[in-house]
Structure 1
């Protein structure tokens, strides 16, 4: 029994460590709460709600995105027609995922926070960041939320609309290509031997290589894709390799300057690695965590079962 409670206590501490739960810290006396302060230079945050949301769901999303005072934000709805306009999508699409965009000072970079991780089932924060850089979005904090389980693709359209209504010109071809990139990323993440993190790493490393090598031909793009697949020890079918090559060849044709956002690409590439390094975790950590919790749940099940036997 003592072993059980020791394991359970360790599990609770580990959960807190992984999810970033910390003990409450008292604010210093006289500290100012700037959470509701209006940035007079960059403007108020923009919130774009999925048009399919019911009134109660919209209120739920408003809380999730920490919109405490709607008067201190600009609010819009994103519709199926917007998907058709921005990325040639289906105008009958149901829109649930929503986003809050807070513009940041130049050089700040992109920060993506998926507030409802359990409800954004296919797109990771790194995938969003990669796609947004492709579309031309820089220097912003973006929070994404949905009250129901969705893939997460439609939130991109809301972000594009937010920039459009503010007069920021995003090239439509780049927006469509960013959506295609997200489709490729989520498709690859479903392949055997791949996962979301590995796909994000691959896409980022290819972009970094393109920024460094500035390929002039499709053959050079194809060689970069091959080099990065080999470096990361990723095995893909000829069809998937061609899909990647075609995607990045389109980026080359559009003259997307990844060298301009190289620092942000470096940030994306190092995000997961930094977290692992900070915690002192070895490469097999997550497998060990999975085994650990399976043992804990088995012990809890046996304990409860024993109470009634």
Structure 2
């Protein structure tokens, strides 16, 4: 990374910090009367104290200004055929957006969502047929994150938006395959998300007509990304995408979203993270900046 790029990045970070200090952010934005208020789905096993904490995490200042639901193990069984006795903790806030806005997913507590990444959620939700929404996921305790997906399905159902049950079950299977690949294959979550996204993009472009086409596309993307999987893991992907082919899911409709996911997981972060000395200096700079701000206010009030 050259010096001018580094200086540009530092300037951007400084400006972002200054915006946080000087520009007030209102939590009481106007309600979109056409699309309705945000929908919040709480994990059914949260304690009262944890629910209050989750409200803060999801930036819910007025519970009367959202539609609230609770997701339970029974919902897991209903929507994706899961275990009705499962304990549910991860929660989500869904804000419906205008057509063409696209899908955006963020995890507020990544330290507590141990298996599922925002890109995995996005990929799975697109498979399920969810579009044009802003989704925020949070949990006050460490969880895998799978129950948030069921909560989002329940939110859509409760609001009268029908999602196809087979697609919902397939999306859950996709999430399971993604997290299993991370655990079993030694790949990072970013590599797995990129692989799944690239396969979907290839399916959208090539429109496979047979199992053999799916096998070819999966292998082509593995080769392209220089990823080696065991035969068992490779078969997991083939089986997953063969089911998608049989359901005739048209990924052309969400091609821009797939491009967004691909760009996020590829990113430009590798060189930046490798330059540890640079980021140590940036860290020291911000420490000194915060110290200076603290001293300024301390002296001001004295």
Tell me the TM-score normalized by structure 2: 0.84
Q: Which residue of 1 aligns with 2:111?
A: 118
> Which residue pairs with 2:240 in the alignment?
247
Greater CA deviation, 78-87 or 33-42?
33-42
CA, structure 1 residues 289+83, in 2 after alignment: closer, same or farther (shift >3 Å)? Answer: farther
Whole-angstrom distance in 2 between the partners of 1:273 and 1:196? 11
Gaps of 5+ in 1: 1-12, 297-309
**1:183 equivalenced with 2:170 (yes/no):** no
Structure 1 residues 228 and 63: CA distance shift in structure 2, 3 A: same
1:220-246 deviation per Cα after TM superposition (whole angstroms, max 9, x unaligned) = 011000000000000001111111000
Distance 1:36 1:249 in 2: 44
Query: How far off its partner does 1:99 sit?
Result: 0.2
Aligned residues: 272
The Cα of 1:193 is off from its aligned counterpart by 3.9
Which digits, 9 at most, give the CA deviation of each residue in 1:149-188, with x for residues without a partner?
0000110000000000111110111000000000000011
**Contact persistence 1:36–1:72 (CA under 8 A):** no
* Inter-CA distance 173–290: structure 2 relative to 1 (3 Å threshold): farther
Q: Does 1:152 align with 2:145?
A: yes
- Is contact 2:27–2:61 with CA below 8 Å preserved after alignment? no
Q: Deviations over 1:16-40 (max 9, x none)?
A: 95xx962335339xxx947432110
CA RMSD of aligned residues (A): 2.5
2:65 paired residue number: 72
What SS does structure 2 have at the residue aligned with 1:144?
strand
| C-alpha distance in structure 2 between counterparts of 1:64 and 1:37, whole Å | 20
Query: Which residue matches 1:305?
Result: none
Partner Cα separation in structure 1 for residue 238 and residue 271 of structure 2: 31
User: Partner residue of 1:96?
Assistant: 89
1:220 pairs with 2:213: yes
**How far apart, in 1, do the equivalents of 2:92 and 2:240 lie?**
26
Alpha-carbon distance, 1:113 to partner: 1.0
Query: Matched residues in 2 for 1:76 and 1:132: separation?
Result: 19
Distance 2:36 2:151 in 1: 18
Structure-1 separation of matches of 2:26 and 2:187: 43
Distance in 2 between the 1:139 and 1:58 partners? 27
The CA deviation string for residues 46-93 of structure 1, in whole angstroms up to 9 with x for no partner, is 000001000010000001000111111000000110000000001110
Among 255, 262, 281, the alignment partner of 1:262 is 255
- Secondary structure of 2:146's partner? coil
